[in-house]
Amino acid sequence: MAVLFLSLFQLIFSAGETPSYYSISGTAQGTTYHVHYYANDSLVKKSQLDSILDRIDSSLSVYKPYSLISRFNRSDKGITMDDHFWIVLKKSLQTYRDTRGLFDITVAPLVQAWGFGVKRTDTLPGNKQLDQIKTCVGSRYLKVKNNFLRKTKPCVTLDMNGIAQGYSVDVLAEFLERNGIHDYIAELGGEIRVKGRRQPSGEKFRVGIESPAEDEFENHSIQKIIMMDQGAITTSGSYRKYYESDGRKITHLINPITGYPIQNEMISVTVYAKDAITADAFDNALMLMGLKDALQFTEAKKELAAYFIYKKADGTIADTASSQFYKLMNQ
Amino acid sequence: MKRRKFIKQGSLLTGGLFLHQQMLNAFAGPSAGEKISMGIIGCGDRGSGIMSVIRELDERFVIKAVCDVLDFRIEGVKKLDTDHSLTYYKDYRKLLDDKTIDAVVIATPLSLHFPIGSDALKAGKHVYLEKTMTYNKEQALQLVALKKQFPRQILQVGHQYRYTPLYFKVKDMIEKGYLGKVTQIDCRWDRNWNWRRPVPEGYTDKQINWRMYKEFSGGLPAELLSHQIDFINWAFDTHPDEIFATGGIDFYKDGRETYDNVQALLRYNKEGMIGNFGATCANAREGYIFKLKGSKGTVSLLPHDGIFYPENEARKELETVDGVTGATKIEWNKDGGIPIVKEKLKDGTWYALQEFHKVIQENGVPVSNVITGATTAFCVDLINHSSFNHTIEHWKPEFNIS
């Protein structure tokens, strides 16, 4: 969603040694990506980024039937992982432990039952059905030996969408850096990674945090702007993917422990961390925790900072942030 | 404003993602209720199409009898009637006399909509009447008056396109102001063929290609453009105040009387809106287009698909930042549009017949009813008057019905 236009200033002064501005946009993983960088030459091409993202899709996209993850889901036993898969799995299992099971990549059958999976459903699940499905949910049913990921129950399936976008942004960032780019901002599906500064001004990059709108057709305005010269920022929100049933809002964020969609005050959580895979791994879990626990959890983790938009008991919307995040906002 | 709107309880159709499922639930209800016995009057292309959808909905409907004046059409239905469960009539009055039939579908040439529809109401039947509701404005007014005498019977008009969740969603988007102020409607329904059906041996052209003849048909405006005209009337709760139309037999000089090339300009005073509705039989490049152009965005519609193109008023704000973090957007398409529905929809007739069943069970009022049907029939009649007589037509006070 990033837009940056060459200012007149840049047009006039870009002839010398001043780095030029480059921008690449495309579609991947069912959403859009944008990369902006400053360099003396166009050091990376769109086709390179597309092919990197394609390879990640071939490993982690549940929407591609040929992907490793789809093959794992169809298999009774498991699969041999590639590097992308292994890195994301390792982070997922670590976050599963850190969040006491709130972040769980085996939640897929529940997400499917509530109608947010690859296939559409026509009816809402009942308690009995959910109890049945929950017997297939739990990262404890995953075992890794060498490069092989084994499932201890055939019905276990994975969905790493909650973390794969963050990881993809990190992979793009690494690729930019390997190609000698030191001032960039990379974004995919609203997950962002930043390094360096705008050129030639030397200002930090400005990242807007989207304010929730009623649905995706409404123009989203910006709630807050923060300045960054390093790190990653990702957002999880209940305001885009949801439907209503009997006056209740059913969101795509399903608690893997209870089996039910979140019913708390949270509207969105924006997480800051050194890399996007970390930020992305925690944002959904923080949504599920509810405001009080999420604030406490964030304060206790040095590597995280978070910003919350939530609904107060009287129905009005408010925001708050962890102390680390306030520091970011006040820079 | 945005925040307040966000927290308020959304409507049934708020969530774009699950529109389809929600609509199914809304229409289908917890139980199907009683099966409705149906008679089909008119078994041409449209009547047969409706029959096949009714057969899909066999928990709600059972077809008891069919009627057509043309033998070969009856024979066509008989081939599908493998268990010989249907009764066949050539005279629709006999079908209406059948007390076991609760409701009829009327899919005849336009000129017969009013006489058969009236007789069906008088015979105590619920009526699913194909669009356009009537051949002219006088008949529309008469049918509105007649319907008032039969408040317990349903009359639903077959503007089926707007029954898909897509069209409900677009109405919702208009009401929420996502399009901003709409000033222009662009609509085309083009083809590059003669719009004729082959005439079997022993039948006349008038029997088969009744759409070519003024005594039976309102031509392209009645048969095609009425759908979109009806949608605009319904979605904006409005009607045009001024109509200018032109047309001619410009390509197929084959003895037809109705125009093969028409264009109608509709002025909506209350909305400050201009509608351009056109159809030709001599170019298929654009086929079906239906665009609603507003100050904040454009909706581009196909019968079962729609894209929203924001005008991007937030651009100025966005220029001040390098990136925006937010919940993941769901697949913007390559030209910057947002798909309005995410999944494949069924044909509009499917949703329309679901509602027909529901309103019969609940003695409700269908969304496409005698009032909206008449409003659209007035528009079509004025368009044909304008193009045949080279006049500018005006909405008349007697058209403001309720």
> How many whole angstroms separate alpha carbon A209 and alpha carbon B396?
53
- Max mean pLDDT among A2-6, A322-326, B137-141 falls in B137-141
Fill in the DSSP letter of residue B284: -
Please report residues of A whose CB lies closer than 8 A to that of B326.
1, 190, 209-210, 220, 235, 237, 240, 268
Q: What is the CATH number of the domain that holds A298?
A: 3.10.520.10
**pLDDT of B225 higher than 60:** yes
Would you call A218 and B321 a contact, using CB atoms and an 8 Å cutoff?
no
Confidence (pLDDT) at B219: 97
Which comes out higher in pLDDT, residue B36 or A11? B36
Task: Give residue B267's identity as a one-letter amino acid code.
Answer: R
Domain limits for position A315: 204-331
Please report residues of A whose CB lies closer than 8 A to that of B24.
122
Query: Is-contact A99 A294, C-beta < 8 A?
Result: no
Confidence (pLDDT) at A262: 84
Same structural domain for residues A143 and A254?
no
Would you call B315 and A243 a contact, using CB atoms and an 8 Å cutoff?
no
* pLDDT 10s digits, B369-401: 999 999 999 999 999 999 999 999 999 999 999
Confidence (pLDDT) at B389: 97
Query: Helix axis angle, B370-389 relative to B137-148, nearest 10°?
Result: 170
Examine residue A104 and state whether it is found in any structural domain, yes or no: yes
Would you call A4 and B319 a contact, using CB atoms and an 8 Å cutoff?
yes
B237 Cα to chain A: minimum distance (Å) = 22
Q: Name residues whose C-beta falls within 8 Å of residue B267's C-beta, 6 or more positions apart in sequence.
A: B240, B241, B242, B243, B273, B274, B275
Please report residues of A whose CB lies closer than 8 A to that of B340.
217
> How many whole angstroms separate alpha carbon A307 and alpha carbon B96?
68
Same structural domain for residues A119 and A216?
no
Examine residue A299 and state whether it is found in any structural domain, yes or no: yes
Average pLDDT over residues B304-308: 87
Q: How confident is the model at residue B72 (pLDDT cuts 50, 70, 90)?
A: very high
Same structural domain for residues A214 and A97?
no
Confidence (pLDDT) at B7: 30
> How many whole angstroms separate alpha carbon A93 and alpha carbon A100?
10
A331 Cα to chain B: minimum distance (Å) = 15
Would you call A315 and B7 a contact, using CB atoms and an 8 Å cutoff?
yes
Examine residue A115 and state whether it is found in any structural domain, yes or no: yes
Same structural domain for residues A152 and A221?
no
* Selected residues 342-361 of chain B with any CB under 8 Å from a CB in chain A: 343
Examine residue A190 and state whether it is found in any structural domain, yes or no: no
Average pLDDT over residues A141-157: 95
Tokens 């009683």 found at: B34
Q: How confident is the model at residue B309 (pLDDT cuts 50, 70, 90)?
A: confident
Confidence (pLDDT) at A313: 86
Same structural domain for residues A247 and A125?
no
> How many whole angstroms separate alpha carbon B279 and alpha carbon B191?
8
Share the mean pLDDT of chain A.
87
Please report residues of A whose CB lies closer than 8 A to that of B17.
116, 241-243
Residue A256: how many other CB atoms lie within 10 Å:
24
Average pLDDT over residues B329-351: 72
Query: Which residue among A1, A237, A317 sits closest to B323, beta carbon to beta carbon?
Result: A1
Same structural domain for residues A121 and A231?
no
**pLDDT of B31 higher than 70:** no
Please report residues of A whose CB lies closer than 8 A to that of B294.
none
Same structural domain for residues A135 and A220?
no
Same structural domain for residues A126 and A215?
no
* Selected residues 320-339 of chain B with any CB under 8 Å from a CB in chain A: 320-332, 334, 338
Nearest residue on chain B to A308, alpha-carbon basis:
B326
Would you call B323 and A2 a contact, using CB atoms and an 8 Å cutoff?
yes
Confidence (pLDDT) at A317: 81
Please report residues of B whose CB lies closer than 8 A to that of A248.
none
Would you call B330 and A234 a contact, using CB atoms and an 8 Å cutoff?
no
Lowest mean pLDDT among A76-85, B290-299, B336-345: B336-345
Domain ranges of chain B: 11-161
Q: How confident is the model at residue A249 (pLDDT cuts 50, 70, 90)?
A: low
Q: How confident is the model at residue B35 (pLDDT cuts 50, 70, 90)?
A: very high
Whether the CA torsion B138, B401, B372, B118 is positive or negative: it is negative
Tokens 């499922």 found at: B21
Query: pLDDT above 70 covers what percent of chain B?
Result: 87
Rounded to a whole number of angstroms, the distance between the first and last alpha carbons of chain A is 23
Nearest residue on chain B to A268, alpha-carbon basis:
B327
Would you call B321 and A189 a contact, using CB atoms and an 8 Å cutoff?
no
Q: Where among A159, A191, A222 does a domain terminate?
A: A159
Q: How confident is the model at residue A52 (pLDDT cuts 50, 70, 90)?
A: very high
Structure ipTM over 0.90, yes or no: no
Torsional class of B364: left (φ above 0), alpha (ψ -120 to 50), beta (otherwise):
beta
> How many whole angstroms separate alpha carbon A310 and alpha carbon A289?
12
Examine residue A231 and state whether it is found in any structural domain, yes or no: yes
Question: Is residue B363 classed exposed, middle or buried when 0-12, 13-18 and 19+ CB atoms within 10 A define those classes?
Answer: exposed
A212 Cα to chain B: minimum distance (Å) = 8
Would you call B310 and A36 a contact, using CB atoms and an 8 Å cutoff?
no
Interface test with A, best of B309, B321, B325, B350 (most A CBs within 10 A): B325
Would you call A214 and B16 a contact, using CB atoms and an 8 Å cutoff?
no
Average pLDDT over residues B231-248: 97
Same structural domain for residues A104 and A214?
no
Task: Give residue B65's identity as a one-letter amino acid code.
Answer: A
A134 Cα to chain B: minimum distance (Å) = 23
Examine residue A196 and state whether it is found in any structural domain, yes or no: no
Query: Which residue among A2, A219, A270 sits closest to B313, beta carbon to beta carbon?
Result: A219
Q: Where among A137, A159, A181 does a domain terminate?
A: A159
* pLDDT 10s digits, A183-235: 999 999 889 999 999 988 899 999 988 877 656 666 666 778 889 999 999 99
Would you call A214 and B176 a contact, using CB atoms and an 8 Å cutoff?
yes
**pLDDT of B115 higher than 50:** yes
CATH, domain B11-161, list 3.30.420.10, 3.30.110.40, 3.40.50.720, 3.40.50.2300: 3.40.50.720
Confidence (pLDDT) at B263: 98
Interface test with A, best of B313, B322, B334 (most A CBs within 10 A): B322
Please report residues of A whose CB lies closer than 8 A to that of B2.
211, 213-214, 218, 221
Examine residue A82 and state whether it is found in any structural domain, yes or no: yes
Q: How confident is the model at residue A244 (pLDDT cuts 50, 70, 90)?
A: low
